[in-house]
Amino acid sequence: MQAEDINQAVYKQIEKNWDNIAKPLDGLGRFEKLIARIGAIHGTTEIDIEKKAVIVMCADNGIVEEGVSQSGQETTTLIVRCLGKGQTSVGKMAAFVGADVIPVDVGVSSDEAFPGVQNRKITHGTGNFAKSPSMTEEQTLEAIQIGIEMVAQCKKEGYRLLATGEVGIGNTTTSAAMAAALTGCKVSEAAGRGAGLDDRGLERKRQVIQDALHHYELKKEEPLRILCTVGGLDIAGLTGVFLGGMLCHIPIVADGVISLVAALTAERLVPGTKAYMIASHRSKEPAAEILTKELGLSPVIDAGLALGEGTGAVMMLSLLDIARTLYQSETTFQTMELAPYERFSETEESR
């Protein structure tokens, strides 16, 4: 599979349209480029991001047995139960922003039927990668397929912009392990406190990841094996969402470290997929910065967010909406009877 290029002619036209808005050239900074990229992905200079949603992949992680999270595994079930009713952080924030929340159970350990959550359960939580690989290749591919299908379904339903989120206690451990394996960075540079781990816990988390990476001898060039071995069903599902964005021409706004590790996995599986990704924020988890650098993405919000569920991505949806409002507005040099700025040098680098 190869990623299709985004529409460069549309991108350039949107850049020009921005210059016609009565403001300093490039005054809206990276938002101008992001709106241009959204239009280029959609293939039109008319930016329509009215219908949007956050897809929240939910799954349990066997590695929690090793004491790598401040919370117990049962917490995932409690959060997912509330998520389906719109009662968690992402539900409240998405309602404010006008985005739908689409929660998907790809592997929560309990057998509970969660109203408001799509049941695509592959298995009841993953294996503990300190003892055996998290998932089989079959399970991993199934989760990726589900992510792609979710985006294809959203496309059919008229969604124009999607964001990623997750719920799964222990998933900052799977993410840090994957980030270290995919980039070759040190475990100490990748692993953070997740949802509030104390000093001893953080030490244990680093050791567990270190031991596993030593044991499995994962190579950077094996993204699928890395995902199967130390990843999780939520990350695999999100990898599918990013691939789906590229296949269906829908921009995907990435949340924090868990989403970003899925984003890098998607890019490694199908180079070029990153053109369809938008980074939302600079997560407090240290691996996030390494991952965005590797992807060449520039997160916009820098507020020490460490919440997950897709909350940072949902905040970014509202910022994109604000930028879009100005782009589509009548605040042009013509309507304001002002002379437009002129670009003296039209070289690519100067823009």
Ligand X SMILES: Cc1cc2ncn([C@H]3O[C@H](COP(=O)(O)O)[C@@H](O)[C@H]3O)c2cc1C
Ligand Y SMILES: O=C(O)c1cccnc1
Name the residues annotated as catalytic: 309
Q: Candidates 149-157, 162-170, 313-321, 339-347: pick the segment binding ligand X (CB under 6 A).
A: 162-170
Please choose which of ligand X, ligand Y, none residue 285 contacts, taking the beta carbon within 5 to 8 angstroms, the exact cut-off set by kind: ligand Y
Query: Which residue of 168, 223, 237, 312 would you call a contact of ligand X, by CB under 6 A?
Result: 168
Q: Candidates 12-20, 167-175, 244-252, 334-342: pick the segment binding ligand X (CB under 6 A).
A: 167-175
DSSP conformation class of 275: G
* CB of 264 vs ligand X, minimal distance in Å: 18
List C-alpha distances in Å: 212 to 62, 85, 140, 201, 265: 13, 37, 19, 17, 19
Q: Residue 309 interacts with ligand X (CB under 6 A)?
A: yes
Please choose which of ligand X, ligand Y, none residue 168 contacts, taking the beta carbon within 5 to 8 angstroms, the exact cut-off set by kind: ligand X
Side-chain-facing half-sphere of 77: CA atoms under 13 Å: 10
Q: Residue 134 interacts with ligand X (CB under 6 A)?
A: no
Query: Which residue of 107, 125, 308, 312 would you call a contact of ligand X, by CB under 6 A?
Result: 308
* CB of 210 vs ligand Y, minimal distance in Å: 20
Beta strand 277-279 with 252-254: parallel, antiparallel or unpaired?
Answer: parallel
Burial status of residue 190 (CB atoms within 10 A of its CB: 0-12, 13-18, 19 or more)? buried
Burial status of residue 234 (CB atoms within 10 A of its CB: 0-12, 13-18, 19 or more)? buried
Q: Candidates 24-32, 156-164, 165-173, 243-251: pick the segment binding ligand X (CB under 6 A).
A: 165-173
- x-marked contacts with ligand X along 65-104 as a string, rule CB under 6 A: ----xxx---x---x-------------------------
Residues whose CB is less than 8 angstroms from the CB of residue 190 and which lie 6 or more positions away in sequence, other chains included: 176, 177, 179, 180, 183, 209, 286, 287, 290
Task: By CB under 6 A, name the binding residues for ligand Y.
Answer: 172, 194-195, 255-258, 283, 285, 288, 306, 308
Please choose which of ligand Y, ligand X, none residue 257 contacts, taking the beta carbon within 5 to 8 angstroms, the exact cut-off set by kind: ligand Y
Residues whose CB is less than 8 angstroms from the CB of residue 64 and which lie 6 or more positions away in sequence, other chains included: 72, 73, 128, 169, 170, 173
The answer to whether 61 and 125 have CB atoms below 8 angstroms apart is yes
Q: Residue 195 interacts with ligand X (CB under 6 A)?
A: yes
* CB of 89 vs ligand X, minimal distance in Å: 6
Catalog residues that contact ligand X under the rule CB under 6 A: 69-71, 75, 79, 166-173, 194-195, 197, 307-309
